[in-house]
């Protein structure tokens, strides 16, 4: 394990947070352009470590090396570049217009300043991509980060942390601690300024409660139960492999993986037959990897068994594969609506397909889930898809594609309902990692403002004159100026 990723006890967390805060004070004083220069060195170190990071990711998570490259490593090259360019721009002071009549001789600016120490808790399914979505912009904003990665992928976490040290990041700004859930709880309860958590809904609720005790702000991404909607006019030659990838990439261990498909009746047989045939061609190991943990393997088995017990039909797959924790890519039909594969997050290579009569019914069914992360519409009617996208209750909608926007740093990744309210990627994520600070400068003028004490008849007259201007516009400005002059004279 890396020297920067250390197994620690709960009692040590507070000291690590204090060290991070000391480092952050100096870091925040640096110019944004200087911080960007440091991050360019980190990006170079990250590229140098490519093979080692990919090897460790595949080994610890069980995913194919191709997915480790394309899902965990390559997107971050763009991510570094995007934030190195955008963070300094976003932190430039913004001049704000002030009404010169209401607020004469005043100048106001808004700056985005760092929150301070950001606590970051991340899962094992994408052990490189998910943490870097927060670490890179948080550091560029001037924060320090205390990162509690998943204990399932400690080697990957160590290698990622090492790239920041090798790239020249000052010590203490990225503090990476390893441990079980009690360590994560201690990090949230420590003297941090903001919490970013990606994980399950049940744990997310605990994080919110713990943070609320200290009035600490939270950003939460808590998974999904994503739907794909396949309509009559869909290009099935694209929809079939697209839905299969969305359902089975990363062995289904993707918060935005397709876990429900609603297909209109007219094309249902052709689509289902095609999806079953395509799924049967996928190869274990090279296409669909193993489940990462024993617990997740057992959940997937239980969800399939529950669907079958309720009358569901296994069209392909449905049983463990040959390798350890492998589960065959599975397509189910005729599944009861209250089955776990329709109501709970499966997080595995299993997808139920339900036939619906209309597109509107498909949208209603998609919205019934307790989650709302992403969804996809597969159709040739772009205008109709855009209208339906606006009523889908989720944070991201794709048309004729699914889920890949998490790899686009300029697009916000966010959800609603049980998927949480956090944001990664885009300027909107940067707004969560900073806070606006207003600076108002009053150029020396009169001894007092018109609204200061003492009040009197002239102050009341000024208020009435301002209302007249609001009602009738510029024609009443002379009267307002007279009231102003009278009030200013009174305050001198």
Catalytic residue among 24, 60, 255, 326: 255
Indicate left, alpha or beta for 215 from its phi (over 0: left) and psi (-120 to 50: alpha): left
Structure-block tokens of residue 214: 């200290």
Pairing of strands 194-198, 350-356: unpaired
Dist. CA 355–CA 334, nearest whole Å: 9
The alpha carbon of residue 358 and the mean position of all alpha carbons in its chain are separated, in whole angstroms, by 32
Is 221 a known active-site residue?
A: yes
Bridge partners of residue 118, in order along the sequence: 145, 194
Bridge partners of residue 371, in order along the sequence: 417
Which residue in the block uniquely carries the two structure tokens 């080994």? Answer: 59
Is 180 a known active-site residue?
A: no
Bridge partners of residue 352, in order along the sequence: 332
Give the residue from 121, 143, 142 showing the smallest Cα distance to 130: 121
Dist. CA 242–CA 245, nearest whole Å: 5
Helix axis angle for 201-213 and 181-189, nearest 10°, is: 30
Dist. CA 121–CA 40, nearest whole Å: 24
Catalytic residue among 60, 67, 221, 432: 221
| Angstrom distances, CA of residue 117 to CA of 16, 35, 167, 270 | 11, 16, 21, 53
Structure-block tokens of residue 343: 């109501």
Which active-site residues does the annotation give? 221, 255
């Amino acid at each position: 394990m890396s020297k920067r990723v250390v197994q620690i006890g709960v009692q040590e967390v507070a000291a690590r947070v204090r060290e991070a805060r000391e480092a952050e004070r100096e870091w925040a004083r640096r110019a944004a352009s200087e911080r960007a220069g440091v991050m360019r060195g980190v990006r170079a170190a990250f590229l140098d470590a490519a093979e080692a990071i990919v090897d460790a990711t595949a080994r610890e998570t069980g995913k194919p090396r191709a997915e480790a490259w394309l899902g965990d490593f390559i997107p971050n090259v763009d991510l570094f570049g995007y934030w190195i360019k955008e963070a300094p721009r976003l932190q430039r002071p913004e001049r704000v217009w002030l009404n010169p009549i209401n607020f004469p001789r005043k100048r106001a600016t808004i700056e985005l300043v760092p929150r301070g120490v950001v606590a970051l808790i991340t899962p094992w399914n994408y052990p490189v991509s998910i943490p870097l979505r927060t670490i890179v912009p948080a550091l560029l904003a001037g924060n320090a980060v205390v990162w509690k990665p998943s204990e399932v992928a400690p080697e990957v976490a160590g290698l990622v942390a090492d790239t920041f040290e090798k790239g020249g990041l000052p010590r203490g700004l990225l503090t990476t601690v390893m441990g079980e859930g009690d360590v994560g709880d201690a990090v949230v309860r420590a003297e941090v300024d903001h919490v970013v958590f990606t994980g399950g809904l049940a744990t997310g609720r605990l994080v919110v409660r713990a943070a609320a005790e200290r009035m600490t702000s939270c950003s939460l991404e808590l998974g999904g139960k994503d739907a794909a909607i396949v309509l009559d006019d869909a290009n099935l030659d694209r929809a079939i492999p697209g839905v299969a990838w969305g359902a089975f990439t990363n062995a289904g261990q993707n918060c935005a993986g397709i876990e429900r498909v609603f297909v209109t009746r007219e094309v249902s047989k052709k689509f289902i037959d095609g999806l079953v045939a395509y799924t049967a061609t996928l190869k274990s190991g090279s296409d669909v990897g193993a489940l990462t943990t024993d617990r997740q393997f057992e959940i997937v088995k239980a969800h399939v068994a529950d669907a079958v017990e309720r009358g569901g039909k296994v069209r392909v797959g449905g049983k463990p594969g040959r390798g350890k924790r492998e589960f065959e890519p599975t397509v189910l039909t005729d599944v009861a609506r209250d089955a776990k594969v329709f109501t709970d997050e499966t997080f595995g290579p299993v997808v139920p397909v339900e036939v619906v009569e209309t597109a509107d019914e498909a949208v209603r069914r998609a919205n019934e889930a307790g989650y709302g992360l992403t969804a996809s519409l597969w159709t040739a009617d772009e205008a109709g898809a855009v209208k339906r996208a606006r009523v889908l209750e989720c944070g991201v909608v794709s048309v004729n594609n699914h889920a890949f926007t998490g790899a686009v740093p300029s697009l916000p990744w966010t959800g609603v309902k049980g998927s949480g309210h956090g944001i990664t990627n885009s300027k909107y994520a940067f707004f969560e990692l900073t806070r606006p600070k207003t600076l108002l400068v009053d150029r020396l003028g009169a001894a007092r403002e018109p609204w200061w004490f003492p009040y009197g008849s002239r102050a009341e007259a000024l208020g009435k004159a301002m209302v007249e201007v609001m009602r009738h516009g510029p024609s009443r400005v002379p009267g307002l100026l007279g009231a102003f002059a009278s009030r200013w004279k009174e305050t001198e």
